[in-house]
Structure 1
Amino acid sequence: MRDSRTSSSEMTAWCSAVVLLSLILLLSVRENNASGSPRGSQFSEKTCEDIYVVGEGETLHTIDDKCGDPFIAERNPHIHDPDDVFPGLVIRIAPFYFPRKV
């Protein structure tokens, strides 16, 4: 009787370990897919919030296209030259969404 309890608890432990490892692997793959996207789609994955951190390869024009704020330079007096935007620069944006026609 003791052997059946031991094997049962060992089986439960192994199943729990397999489930835990599967979850860790799944979350790791999802995180890598989100961060390891091709360069062309990196802009579409970011969200447009009030405060925006410029990513590598982005310009005010690409941020405007993505977020819908054509007045980024006007809203950010610390940007003296619109062509001098660099990764890590923190800017304020106000996304503008056109109303949908029904």
Structure 2
Amino acid sequence: MAFNPRKAPISSSKAMADAASWCCACLLVTLILVCIFRDSSALEEDDEGLLRGSKVVSKPCDEIYVVGEGETLHTISDKCGDPFIVEKNPHIHDPDDVFPGLVIKITPSHTTKYYNIN
């Protein structure tokens, strides 16, 4: 079989192009993963499921709220942004007597809060 100088550079060029394509693809995947993990580590989730960072945090609470296990009026007030829960719920006679399953009315005084943990 005779050596053909025109075929040798083509196959090595193709191999180099394939290797360069794989390197670029690996680099792109790595950059995407780094960006995803960097963004998720910049935001931390707290006990109430709120994202904190240099972001606007919305505190969604329905107008009718059912008290969960371990919640107090203070934690519900912080979570929902309603500092006047006792005043708006005349059926709550003792603020310390809050139990799971208790239904209360929520009227948030504000819906967004700014957090900056830098």
More strand, by proportion: 2
Give the TM-score taking structure 1 as reference length. 0.50
TM-score (norm 2): 0.45
